Chain A
Amino acid sequence: MKQIKEKHPLAMRWTHWINFPILSIMIWSGMLIYWANDVYTITIFGHKFFGFFPEGFYNTFHIQKRLAEGMAFHFLFMWAFAINGLVYVLYTIISGEWRELVPQKKSFKEAWLVLLHDLHIRKMAPPQKKYNAAQRIAYTAIIVMGFGSLITGLAIYKPVQFYYLAWLCGGYHFARILHFALTIGYVFFFLIHIIQVILAGWNNFRSVISGFEVISKPDPKPIVETPTPADEKPIQ
C-alpha cells in the first residue's frame, strides 16, 4: 500500500529554491568583481598548480571588464541572500527542525559509514531519520558557510565600519581570500549535491518540491481485539 510520508516543510522548500538563483547570481557577479584582481592560485611548495581563472573560462562566460556591473549586482542581491538565509535559519531554529539537521556526536563516525555505503564498498548504511549522518554534516556546514560568506563579505564591504568583523576574519586581505574560498566550496558542494540528488532518484527530488515522499507499506495486519486486563481498566 502506498503512503504519503511528509518530509520537507514548506518554508524549507521555498528558501531552498529561492536560494538557488540568488546564490548563482552572487557567484556570477562575484566573478565579475574577482576578475579585476584575479590573483588567487593553488600553489604548493612554490609550484603553481592552478590559477583562478584561465583565460578561456573568462572568455566563455564574458567576465572581463565588468567590475562596476558586478558590484552593482552583488550589492543588490546580497540583501536577498542574507534575508532568505535568515528566514531559513530562524525557521529551522523555531520549528525545532534543527534537531533533524545538526550533526550529533555519532554523526562524525557514521558519516564514514555512509560514505562507504554510497561508494558501494559497504552494504549497510547506518539507520537514520530524515537525514543521514553525512547529510547532517553537509547541510549544516553549508549553512555555516553561508553565514561565513555574509561575515567575510561584510568584512570586505565595510572593513572600517565593521572593523571587528575584519579582525575576526583575520584582516581585510585574508577576509577576501576566505570569501573566495567559500565560493569555491559552494561549487564543490553543488557538484556533489547534484550527483547525490540524481542517484537518490525521483521520490527524493520530488520531496524538495512537493514536500512528501511516497513509501510503500506492507498491508496492515487485521486488528485483533484483545480484552483489556482488569487491572488496566480506567478508573470509573
Chain B
Amino acid sequence: MLKPQPQQMRNLFSKKNKGPKKPLTVEQKITRRNFISFGTFFVASGVAYGGWKWLYNSPEETATITAGARKPLRRALNQTELAFRRVFSNNNLVKTYPKEMAAKNVRHNEDIGNEGKIDVTAWALKVKKQSGEVLNISIDDIKALPKTDIVYDFKCVEGWDQISHWGGVKFSDFISHFKLDAETALQYVGLETPDKQYYVGIDMPSAMHPQTLLAYEVNEKPLPPKHGAPLRLIIPVKYGIKNLKRIGTMTFSNKRPPDYWAEQGYDYYSGL
C-alpha cells in the first residue's frame, strides 16, 4: 500500500528535498533557542530605545490653558487626572492635628501677585456670576460668616510639608451664603490676584470639599501680607501652588480657567 507523503508536498518549493526531518540535536536546540530569544531581546530593546527617544524628543504642547510639557506627557497627565478623579470624595479628609502642633513660622515660597502693600479697607472680593452680575464682598462681610479652623499638613509641590493653622470661611458656606449655588453647577472656579499676576483654576468638587477655606487668619491672627492678606485660598486637597494668596477675583466656568503653574508644565489638577 502506498502511504501519502505530505513531507514531499511541503517541500515542493524548497531547493533541497531532504526527506523526513531528523529530531534536532541538543546543540541545534541550544543554537535555535538562543537565536530566537536573543533576537527578540535585541529587537525589543531597540523598540524600547526608539520609543524612549520618541517620547523624550516629542514636541512641546501648543500653549493653551496648559503649556510647557511634552505633548504625550500632557495627555498622560490629563488622562491620569480622570482616573484619580474617580477616587475623589468629600468623605476623604485631610488629616488634622491639634493646634499646638502648628508651626509658628509658617513657610512661604512665592510672592507672585502678592507683592507690595495692600489697602485692606479698600479691598473687595469680586465675584463674577454667570448672569454677568458682579458681587463686591468686603473682608468684614466674609468675617461675619461662621468661622472654620483647620490645622493640617500643608503640602508644597516641591516636596516639603508643614503643619499649619488656618482660619476662615468654608468655601461651601461662602457659596451658600452669597447664593452662588447655581454657579457650582459649573465645573471650575477661577481665582486671580488683584494685579492678575497669579491665577489658578480649581475643579468644582475640590473647591466644594468640606475642608476648602477662604482663609483670613493664620495661627489665629489676621493674615500678614506674605501669606496673602486679606483673603487667600486654603485647599488641602491641592498642592500649595493652587492655594492662591490675596484673592482679587472669583469666576466660574465650564472651561478650565487659566492656571499659572499649569502654563509652566505642571499638572492642571495637582490634586492630593
**Measuring CB to CB, which residues of chain A are less than 8 angstroms from any residue of chain B?**
1-4, 13, 17, 21, 25, 33-34, 36-37, 39, 67-69, 71-73, 75-76, 79, 157-163, 166-167, 171-173, 176, 206, 209-212, 214
A76 CA / B76 CA spacing, docked (Å): 6
Q: Which residues of A contact B134 (CB under 8 A)?
A: none
With A68-B69, A68-B264 as known contacts, state yes or no: A159 contacts B272, CB within 8 Å: yes
Q: Which residues of A contact B94 (CB under 8 A)?
A: 159-160, 163
A76 CA / B153 CA spacing, docked (Å): 26
B255 close to A (CB within 8 Å): no
Distance between A234 CB and nearest chain B CB, rounded to angstroms: 31
B136 close to A (CB within 8 Å): no
Q: Which residues of B contact A75 (CB under 8 A)?
A: 76-77, 80, 267
Smallest CB-CB A-B distances: 5 pairs: A37-B159, A68-B265, A72-B73, A36-B158, A76-B76
Q: Which of B29, B37, B155, B161 contacts A209 (CB 8 A)?
A: B37
B95 close to A (CB within 8 Å): yes
B185 close to A (CB within 8 Å): no
Distance between A2 CB and nearest chain B CB, rounded to angstroms: 5
Pair A67/B158 contact, Cβ less than 8 Å: yes
With A71-B267, A173-B161, A209-B41 as known contacts, state yes or no: A4 contacts B30, CB within 8 Å: yes
B52 close to A (CB within 8 Å): yes
Pair B73/A76 contact, Cβ less than 8 Å: yes
20 further A-B contacts with Cβ under 8 Å, apart from A21-B52, A33-B159, A160-B237, are A2-B26, A2-B30, A17-B44, A36-B157, A67-B158, A68-B69, A69-B265, A71-B157, A71-B267, A72-B73, A72-B74, A76-B73, A158-B272, A160-B93, A160-B94, A161-B84, A162-B87, A163-B95, A172-B153, A211-B37
Pair A39/B68 contact, Cβ less than 8 Å: no
Within 8 A of A (CB), among B17-66: 26-27, 29-30, 33-34, 37-38, 41, 44, 48, 52
A36 CA / B159 CA spacing, docked (Å): 7
A76 CA / B87 CA spacing, docked (Å): 18
B70 close to A (CB within 8 Å): yes
Pair A72/B92 contact, Cβ less than 8 Å: no
Pair B266/A34 contact, Cβ less than 8 Å: no
**Measuring CB to CB, which residues of chain B are less than 8 angstroms from any residue of chain A?**
26-27, 29-30, 33-34, 37-38, 41, 44, 48, 52, 68-70, 73-74, 76-77, 80, 84, 87-89, 92-95, 153, 155-161, 236-237, 261, 264-267, 271-272
Pair B73/A37 contact, Cβ less than 8 Å: no
Distance between B233 CB and nearest chain A CB, rounded to angstroms: 16
Q: Which residues of A contact B272 (CB under 8 A)?
A: 157-161
A39 (CB) vs chain B CBs: closest residue: B160
Distance between A152 CB and nearest chain B CB, rounded to angstroms: 13
26 contacts between A and B (CB under 8 A): A2-B30, A3-B26, A4-B33, A17-B41, A25-B52, A33-B159, A34-B159, A67-B157, A67-B158, A68-B264, A72-B73, A72-B76, A72-B77, A75-B80, A76-B80, A158-B84, A158-B272, A160-B93, A160-B236, A161-B87, A161-B92, A163-B93, A163-B94, A176-B161, A210-B33, A210-B38
B45 (CB) vs chain A CBs: closest residue: A17
Q: Which residues of B contact A25 (CB under 8 A)?
A: 52
Interface of A (DSSP majority class): helix
Distance between B32 CB and nearest chain A CB, rounded to angstroms: 10
B40 (CB) vs chain A CBs: closest residue: A209
Pair A4/B160 contact, Cβ less than 8 Å: no
With A71-B267, A72-B265, A160-B236 as known contacts, state yes or no: A173 contacts B92, CB within 8 Å: no
B49 (CB) vs chain A CBs: closest residue: A21
A78 CA / B74 CA spacing, docked (Å): 15
A164 (CB) vs chain B CBs: closest residue: B92
Q: Which residues of A contact B93 (CB under 8 A)?
A: 160, 163
Distance between A173 CB and nearest chain B CB, rounded to angstroms: 6
A3, A39, A68, A167: most-surrounded residue (chain B CB, <10 A):
A68
A3 CA / B77 CA spacing, docked (Å): 51
Pair B48/A21 contact, Cβ less than 8 Å: yes
A217 CA / B159 CA spacing, docked (Å): 58
A73 (CB) vs chain B CBs: closest residue: B73
A3 CA / B30 CA spacing, docked (Å): 9
A76 (CB) vs chain B CBs: closest residue: B76
